[in-house]
Amino acid sequence: MNMPLFFNDVRTITLTDPLADFLGAAEDGLIEYSYRDAVKLAGHSCPTVAGAYLATLKALEHLYPGATPERGAVKVSFREHISSGVTGVMANIATLITGATQDNGFKGIGGRFDRRNLLFFSAPIGGEMRFERTDSGAAVIAAYHPEVVPPETAMKELMQLMLAGVAGTDERKQFGRLWQERVKRILIGHVDDPRLVVLS
């Protein structure tokens, strides 16, 4: 499967999953997620998928300073309804990484490892996304600002050509290249830019 090479350079997210450990699915329950995993789930790579991945990464780093985050032990809330804008896409990425689901997730074994009722929408929160540890109640709000990394000026015209179905081969290639270059700048060039993902 050929993907842009910069996907390999995006910071990965390692969590410990007690369920994976319990069932012998991963040694010591350690599971590593990469941006490639997010792209495979979404079926595409774009600033929204990149933002959801980066916001989750940053929130987990904040909630578990110097420690490995626990998968299945984080509540994720969204201010918007699940069908509003790109909320559903972002929620899918957050679920992939944290394991949080609504009522459709794993029910647990013997009262342990329940992944349900950890994902919420239309939540009365002061920001775009909220992450909360179920053990300590520590929480952080994450707001993603993709405008910090604007697209190249040529993208507007190329997008119009693409949507109209009249872009030539070279224009299609240029569009894809510029699109992914922006994603690269978001995930690598601005990964630690405090203006891109604002935590509060």
Range of 97's domain?
A: 12-147+193-199
Is pTM beyond 0.75? Reply is yes
Structure confidence by residue, pLDDT tens digits, 93-110: 999 999 999 999 899 999
Task: With respect to residue 170, please indicate whether it lies within any of the assigned structural domains.
Answer: no
d(CA 98, CA 70): 8
d(CA 190, CA 200): 18
pLDDT band at 67 (very low <50, low <70, confident <90, very high): very high
d(CA 146, CA 163): 22
Region 141-166 average pLDDT: 95
Task: With respect to residue 21, please indicate whether it lies within any of the assigned structural domains.
Answer: yes
Task: With respect to residue 169, please indicate whether it lies within any of the assigned structural domains.
Answer: no
pLDDT band at 122 (very low <50, low <70, confident <90, very high): very high
Task: With respect to residue 107, please indicate whether it lies within any of the assigned structural domains.
Answer: yes
Res 1: pLDDT: 73
Task: With respect to residue 25, please indicate whether it lies within any of the assigned structural domains.
Answer: yes
Task: With respect to residue 165, please indicate whether it lies within any of the assigned structural domains.
Answer: no
Structure confidence by residue, pLDDT tens digits, 18-42: 999 999 999 999 999 999 999 999 9
Task: With respect to residue 159, please indicate whether it lies within any of the assigned structural domains.
Answer: no
Total domain count, the chain: 1
Residue 141 has pLDDT above 90, yes or no: yes
3-state secondary structure of 102: coil
- The enclosing domain of 93 has a CATH number of 3.30.1330
3-state secondary structure of 101: coil
